Amino acid sequence: MTTASNTSADPASKVPEAEQPNQFNVQIANGEASSAFAQKRLFQLRPKDKGNNPRGPWKTAFSRLLRDKLAVASFVFLAAIVLSTASATYYADHISQTDPFQSNLDGQIEINGDPAEIMAADSEGLGLGVTPIGPTWTGQYLLGADAQGRDVAARLLYGGQNSLIVAFASTALCLVLAGVIGTVSGFLGGIVDTILSRLLDIIWAFPIYLLAISLSIVLISTGLQIGPFHIPSNSLLLPITIIGVVYVPYVARPIRGQVLTLAKSDFVLASVCLGMPTARILVRDILPNVVTTLIVFAPIMMSLSILTESSLSFLSIGVQPPAASWGTIIQDGQGLLYTRPLVAIAPGLAIIITVLCLNFLGDGVKDAFDPKAKLRVGKG
C-alpha cells in the first residue's frame, strides 16, 4: 500500500481554529500574512521541537487539557462510570441481594411489602407465557430481570467492569506493541523496517472484524496454548489479546512515520553530529515524542476497543458466559427486545455514553498534546 494506506489512518478530527489554544500566537500569524502559515506550523510543532526535554511541553499540555472544559467534564463522567461499575459487588450483595450470574427462574422478591414473582406466569387470556419482572426502580431489580431472572442492573455493573477492563487492557497492549514495532521499524530502518511494515500492511488490509472473528473462533473453541501457558477459552485474556492485536497497525504505522521524520529532524541530526550514542538519542529525542503520540491515541483506541469488544460479544465470540459484558448483555437482551427492551437498550446507552466521553477526552488530549496529529475516531 502506498499513498492510500498512509493517508488512510490520517484524516484528523480537528477543532476549529477559534477553539485552538494560544489565541495570541495564532492571531499574530493571521496578522503577519507573509509568514502566516509558517508561523502557525512553528507554533503547532513546538511540542515536538522541544522533544529533548519532554516535561516542559507536557506540563503545558496538561494545563491546556485542564482548560478544555468538555474534556475535563468527560473525564469526570468517565471516572463516575468507573466508580459505579466498581461498586457492582456492593450493589449485588446489599441492594439487589441476588447473584447476577445464577439463573433465578422461580424466585420471589418483596416489592414494598408484597411478594412478586421474578418470572411471573401470566394469568390473563390463555394464561400462557412467563414474563420477567419489569423495572422496579427501587433497590432490587432496579432495571428488572432478564430472561434468566437475573438482576439486569447488577449485570450491567459487572458487565461494565469487564467491558472497561477489556478496553483498557487491550488498549494498553495495543499501544505498547505498536509503540515498540513503530519505533524499532522507523528507527532501525533497513530490512527490519521493510519486513515489519510489510507485515503491518498485511494485517492492516485484513478487515478488523474478520481478523478478530477468525482469531476468536479458533481461540474460543480451543483456548490459547503459548508454550507452558494455557489461556482457557473463557478467560478475559482472549478478547483482550485479540482486540489488542488487531488494532496494532492502526497505531504502529503513524508512529513509524513519526519516528522516520524525527530521525531526519534537525535536532536529532544535531545530536548525531555531537556524537551522541544511538541509545541516548532514542531515549532523549525519539521516545518522548512517540510517547506523546501514544498518549494522544490512548482515548480513541479505548473507545474503539469498547465498541469492538461489544461487537464480538454480541456475536458471542467475545466475553464468554457466565461472565458478562455490555455486549453480551445486549445479546441476552435480543430475546427480550420486544417485551423488555430495557435489557438491551440500557447497556447500549452505557456503551454510547462511555465511548462518547472517551472521544471527547480524545479530542481534548489531541489538541492539548499535538494539535496536528491525525487520528480517526471509529472504524467500520
Partner 1 sequence: MSDNILEIRDLTVGFRTEQGPVEILKGVSFDVKAGEIVSVVGESGSGKSMTSLAVMRLITDPNAMISGTIRYKGRNLPGLSAREMRKLRGRQIAMIFQDPMTALTPVHTIGWQIAEQMRVHLGLGAKVARKRSVELLGKMGIPDPERAYDRYPHHLSGGMRQRAMIAMAISCDPAILIADEPTTALDVTVQAQILDLLQDLRREYGSSIILITHDMGVVSTIADRVLVMYSGRIIEHGAKSDLLDKPQHPYTLGLMRSIPPMTGERPRRLPSIPGSPPLPGKRPEGCSFRPRCEFSFSKCSAVPPLYRCNEQFAACFLAEHGSHQWQRNLAEERTAK
Partner 2 sequence: MLLAVLRRAFDMVFVMFGISVIAFLIFFATPGSDPSARIAGRNATPEMLAQVRIAFGFDRPLYVQYGRLMQRLFIAQDLTSFVNRGQKVVPAVLQATPVTLCLVFGAAVIWLTAGISLGIVATVFRGTIIDKSLMLLALAGVSMPVFWVGSVMNLITQSRFHDTWLFSWVPGLGYTSFFESPSLWFKTLVIPWFTLSVLFIGLYARVLRASLSESYQEDYVRTARAKGLSESRIMVRHALRTSLITLLSMFGLDFGALVGGGAILTEVVFNLPGIGRLTYQALQNLDLPFIMATVMYSTFFVVLANALVDVAYAWLDPRVCDAR
Partner 3 sequence: MLHHTVCRAIAMALLLTSATVGVARAEDKPKIGGTLRLAAASAAGTIDPHISYETGFYWPIFYVLNDGLVTFRKAAGEPSNDIVPDLASDMPKISEDGKTYTFKLRKGVKFSNGQEVTLRDVVASFERLFKVGNPNSSLWYSVIKGGDKCVETPPTCSLAEGVVANEADGTVTFNLTQPDADFLYKLAVPFGSILPADTQPSDLGTTPPAATGPYMITSYDPQRGMELKRNPEFKVWNEDAQPDGYVDEIKYSFGVKPEDAVTAIQNDQMDWMYDSPPADRLKEISSESADQIYINPSFAMYAAEMNTNIAPFNNKDVRQALNFAVNRRAAINIYGGPRLADANCQVLPVDFPGYKGYCPYSKNPGEKWGGPDMEKAKALMERSGQIGQKVTVTVGDAGVDPQTGTYLVSVLNDLGLQATLKVISANIQWTYAQNSNNNVQITLNTLWQDYAAPADFLQVLFNCSSFHPGSDASPNISGYCNNAVDAKMEQAMKAALTDVAASHEMWSAVDHDITDDAPWATLYSPKLLYFVSKRLKNFTYSNQARMVFSKVWLD
Q: In the range 217-246, which residues lie near partner 3 by CB under 8 A? A: 233-234
Amino acid (1-letter code) at residue 199: L
Which of the stretches 108-116, 171-179, 182-190, 216-224 binds partner 2 when contact is defined by CB under 8 A? 216-224
Smallest Cα–Cα separation from 248: which of 208, 288, 307, 192?
208
By a kind-dependent CB cut-off of 5 to 8 A, residue 355 interacts, out of partner 3, partner 2, partner 1, none, with: partner 2
> Residues near 66 by Cβ (< 8 Å), separated by ≥ 6?
72
SS3 for 225-289, per residue? EECCEEECCCCCHHHHHHHHHHCHHHHHHHHHHHHHHHHHCHHHHHHHHCCCCHHHHHHHHHHHH
Residue 123 interacting with partner 1 (CB under 8 A): no
Cβ closest to partner 2, residue 121 vs residue 349: 349
Within 97-136, which residues bind partner 2 (CB under 8 A)? none
The whole-angstrom separation of Cα 337 and Cα 340 is: 6
Q: Shortest distance, CB of residue 286 to partner 2, whole angstroms?
A: 27
* Cβ distance to partner 1 smaller for residue 24 or 137: 24
For 338, list phi and psi in degrees, rounded to 5.
Answer: -85, -20
Q: Which is nearer to partner 3, 104 or 170 (CB)?
A: 104
Indicate which single residue of 157, 355, 361, 373 sits in contact with partner 2 (rule: CB under 8 A).
Answer: 355
- All three cell numbers of 5, joined, read 494506506
Residue 59: count other Cβ atoms within 10 Å of its Cβ: 10
Q: CA end-to-end span of the chain, whole Å?
A: 19
Binds 230, which of partner 2, partner 1, partner 3, none (CB < 5 to 8 A, cut-off by type)?
partner 2
Distance separating alpha carbons of residues 32 and 293, to the nearest angstrom: 30
Residue from 24, 31, 33, 69 that binds partner 2 (CB under 8 A)?
33
Binding to partner 1 in span 37-76, by CB under 8 A? 37
Task: Return the number of the residue (13 or 103) whose C-beta is nearest partner 2.
Answer: 13
- Partner from partner 3, partner 1, partner 2, none contacting 56, C-beta within 5 to 8 A by type: none
Helices 248-264 and 152-188 pack at an angle, to 10 degrees, of 30
Residue 60 engages partner 3 in binding (rule: CB under 8 A): no
**Angle of CA points 179, 163, 199, to nearest 5°:** 30
338 binds partner 3 (CB under 8 A): yes
φ and ψ of 319, to 5 deg: -65, 130
Site string for partner 2, 133-172 (x = CB under 8 A): ----------------------------------------
Choose between 130 and 199: whose C-beta lies nearer to partner 3: 130
Pick 194 or 234: Cβ nearer partner 3: 234
Separation CA 204–CA 249 (nearest Å):
6
Tell me which residues touch partner 3 (CB under 8 A). Answer: 101-103, 105-106, 119, 121-132, 147-148, 233-234, 316, 320-322, 334-340
